Structure 1
Amino acid sequence: MKKFLGYLLTPIATGAFLLVLVIFQPIQWVCFRFLGYAAHKRAVDLLNLCLVSTVYLLGNSVTFTNKQDLPLGRPIIFLANHQGLLDIPPLIWYLRKYHAKFISKIELTKGIPSISYNLKHGGGANIDRKDPRQSITELAKLATRMKENRWSTVIFPEGTRSTDGTVRTFQSAGIATLLKKCPEALLVPIAIRDSWKMIQYGNFPLNTFTPMYWEVLPPIEPTGRPVDEVVLEAENMIRAKLG
């Protein structure tokens, strides 16, 4: 029944999603060009709130839980498991006060209304996976911006999204690069549950009446510890929460 309803509701939800992207493209442009970073960020925050809201058109729900008392004046590296593109809008909206930036494939900086513009101008890192030197350079620049502006970053250490919710082994190289340039950053794991179920049939039909959950877990102090060790600790915390 849920899949059948997906055939009916997916065009409505997808249409609303695309409409939001088109509407916010010129809004972002005006904010960035004439009003500066703060206005552009508010536009991006509101954009992602609207994108999150479109999932409710499918009867799905988003529950984001953050019971941690995280510092606002310290850079944070949020580490999350990755289940689909829907993972990102709730992270941007609910972590907005931490100025969370993303590490994205450079291919996404072209051709997608609103999303591509934000990736180019929002302060994150756009990496070319075929060019390791460029990737390291971009991550180092992002870490410098984190240090200078007290921004945070969301990274998906699995390297690719899981299609069935299974947590893959976390890679530590990107986090090591960030910590090298921004050693004062705090590591904070985030467990994402069941967002993969919304796209378990692909982009059409989208699944319906599916509850999805994001939970911020206790922070990890990386100072004085091997990067591989703290990344493994974050991975194990996420696995335990989802297990």
Structure 2
Amino acid sequence: MKKIVDYILSCIYLLYFGLTLVVFHGLQVIAFHAFGKSAHKKVVDWMNASISYGWYLTGSSIRFQQEDELPTDRPIIFIANHQSMFDISPIIWFLRRHTPIFVSKIELAKGIPGVSYNLRRSGAALIDRKDPKQAIVEIARLGKHIQQTKHSAVIFPEGTRSSSGKMRPFVTGGVSTLLKRAPSALVVPIAVRGTGHFNPKGIFPLTSFSRMSWVVLPAIEPAGQTPDDVVRSAQEAIAQELGVSDSVMNQ
């Protein structure tokens, strides 16, 4: 019976999701060309709010928790675990005052209404995993951008999704490059929970009545630490929040 409910509610949400992407794609194009980047960003923020709150159509819930106020006068590097493509929208919406810009695989820059256009226009670091040199250049460009603008970068150091909820080892390279180009950046871990359960295998069916949360953890001051130490601290903080410390330490 639950599986039938999953299929029905998934159909409802995915119809809503598709329409949201198409409508906001058009709004993004209009906003960018007629009113500029600021207007485009506002449209993107509301697109991601619509995606996130649309999950209520599946009976699922979202919770965002941020205890500490984050500065807006210095760049921020958000480091998060990665469970699903649905990790992203609440980060864009709830942290919109920090203008989060993502490190993303280059394949996503084409073919997805709303999403691909935003990746190209937002200045995202679009990396080719088969070309390490290109990836470093893109991430370095993003680091320089956030240093100049005091915006933020979002990176998933696991490198790929882990829908099981178990964390993969964090890779230091991307964060190290960002820190080199944005030396004044603050590093902030984000623990993402439940999106892998919601979206376990492909986009259909989704798991209805899932509980998803995003917890912004205490900031890490990278000054005086190596990138390896910073990434390790972020990984340990996320693992502790998710209650998977043992599995991470034993990998």
What's the TM-score, normalizing by structure 1? 0.98
Contact between 1:3 and 1:206, CA under 8 Å: does it hold in 2?
no
Contact between 1:82 and 1:161, CA under 8 Å: does it hold in 2?
yes
- After TM superposition, give the deviation of residue 9 of structure 1 in Å: 1.0
Name the structure 2 match of 1:141. Answer: 141
- After TM superposition, give the deviation of residue 3 of structure 1 in Å: 2.5
Q: Please give the alpha-carbon distance, in whole angstroms, between the structure 1 residues aligned to 2:34 and 2:26.
A: 12
- After TM superposition, give the deviation of residue 201 of structure 1 in Å: 4.8
* Identity value in percent: 48
The one-character-per-residue Cα deviations of 1:174-217 (angstroms, maximum 9, x if unpaired) are 00000101111000001011111112254222111111111000
Name the structure 1 match of 2:118. Answer: 118
- After TM superposition, give the deviation of residue 36 of structure 1 in Å: 1.0
Q: Please give the alpha-carbon distance, in whole angstroms, between the structure 2 residues aligned to 1:124 and 1:72.
A: 19
Query: How is 1:54-69 mapped onto 2 (pairs within 5 angstroms)?
Result: 54-69=54-69
- After TM superposition, give the deviation of residue 34 of structure 1 in Å: 1.8
Q: Give the secondary-structure state (helix, strand or coil) at the position aligned to 1:240.
A: helix
Q: Give the secondary-structure state (helix, strand or coil) at the position aligned to 1:207.
A: coil
The one-character-per-residue Cα deviations of 1:10-64 (angstroms, maximum 9, x if unpaired) are 1110000000000011110111112111101000000000111221100001101
Contact between 2:9 and 2:57, CA under 8 Å: does it hold in 1?
yes
Name the structure 1 match of 2:22. Answer: 22
- Code of the residue aligned with 2:63 in structure 1: it is T
- Code of the residue aligned with 1:15 in structure 2: it is L
- Which consecutive residues of structure 1, in runs of 5 or more, have no partner in the other structure? none
Query: How is 1:188-199 mapped onto 2 (pairs within 5 angstroms)?
Result: 188-199=188-199
What's the TM-score, normalizing by structure 2? 0.95
Q: Please give the alpha-carbon distance, in whole angstroms, between the structure 1 residues aligned to 2:212 and 2:71.
A: 26
Name the structure 2 match of 1:75. Answer: 75
Query: How is 1:14-53 mapped onto 2 (pairs within 5 angstroms)?
Result: 14-53=14-53
Aligned structure 1 segments of 4 or more residues deviating by more than 4 angstroms: none
- Code of the residue aligned with 2:188 in structure 1: it is V
- Code of the residue aligned with 1:236 in structure 2: it is E
The number of residue pairs the alignment matches comes to 243
Q: Please give the alpha-carbon distance, in whole angstroms, between the structure 2 residues aligned to 1:117 and 1:222.
A: 33
Name the structure 2 match of 1:9. Answer: 9
For structure 1, which segment, 1-10 or 81-90, has the greater mean C-alpha deviation from structure 2 after superposition?
Answer: 1-10
- Code of the residue aligned with 1:86 in structure 2: it is F
Name the structure 2 match of 1:229. Answer: 229
Q: Residues 201 and 5 from structure 1, CA distance in 2 versus in 1: closer, same or farther, beyond 3 angstroms?
A: farther
State the superposition RMSD in angstroms.
0.9
Q: Please give the alpha-carbon distance, in whole angstroms, between the structure 2 residues aligned to 1:137 and 1:202.
A: 31
Query: How is 1:76-225 mapped onto 2 (pairs within 5 angstroms)?
Result: 76-225=76-225
Name the structure 1 match of 2:249. Answer: none
Contact between 2:163 and 2:195, CA under 8 Å: does it hold in 1?
no
- Code of the residue aligned with 2:129 in structure 1: it is R
